[in-house]
Structure 1
Amino acid sequence: MTETAVETAAHGVALTQAATDKVRSLMSQEGRDDLRLRLAVQPGGCSGLIYQLYFDERVLDGDVSVDFGDGVEVVVDKMSVPYLDGASIDFEDTIEKQGFTIDNPNAEGSCACGDSFN
């Protein structure tokens, strides 16, 4: 992780300042202020579970939502919360890597490609 988490919320997911800035920038590019960043865990991949990270305009029954300020909100569904408690979302923009990364202390292992975890 290149930066420390700026806030850990009720759903236990933290967002670094770099990730917060990138989310805000992407929402601005879309010209929308009704989107939330949704993080979910779904069955799949080589190791059993995969992350889903996307913008969503919906808030579903049981969702836990935390406002990180300036219109940046992270939503986690109630089934994913236990898998994500203590996780941190970061954004990297280097020659080696560009994109969002998720550091999850609950992941016991991952597949060789790094796309799934258990």
Structure 2
Amino acid sequence: METEETGVTVSATATETPAHQVGLTDTARDKVRSLLEQEGRDDLRLRIAVQPGGCSGLIYQLYFDERTLENDAVVGFGAVEVVVDQMSVPYLSGATIDFSDTIEKQGFTIDNPNAQGSCACGDSFS
């Protein structure tokens, strides 16, 4: 699936849950899979959450989690599952997780159409 706005190819499987519309680019999926292989764990999922904090009011949390809680929304992207808690779903609907590895920056990025603004450091959003 390719989004019109970004032109980013986002892969997903038939395990998509309608309540969770977070995308994962192929590059991010491959990086997550590589990190999981380095850890030697196949029981972990990539969890993304929104928490209060930062200069603009909200911050992203992106981490590996072995548990799935009641009402979590889970989407499979090949061998990688992305989990979003029920409270974070509205803040993340339509967001895309990507991974950059350039001389300028390295790490996961989140393109979120729901973010109305962000702080100067880019760590939080409103």
Measured against aligned partners, the alpha-carbon deviations of 1:50-98 in whole angstroms (never above 9, x if no partner) come to 00000000101110001111x2000000000000000000000000010
Measured against aligned partners, the alpha-carbon deviations of 1:10-59 in whole angstroms (never above 9, x if no partner) come to 30100000000000000000000000000000000000000000000010
Runs of 4+ in 1 over 4 A off after TM superposition: none
Structure 1 gaps of 5+ residues are: none
- 1:33 alignment partner in structure 2: 42
Match status 1:24 vs 2:24: no
What is the aligned length? 117
- Find the partner of 2:84 among 76, 79, 83: 76
1:85-96 aligned within 5 A: 85-96=93-104
- Find the partner of 1:5 among 6, 10, 30: 10
Rounded to whole Å, the distance in 1 between the matches of 2:71 and 2:33 is 25
User: Greater share of strand residues, 1 or 2?
Assistant: 1
The structural deviation recorded for 1:2 is 8.4
Contact persistence 1:14–1:89 (CA under 8 A): yes
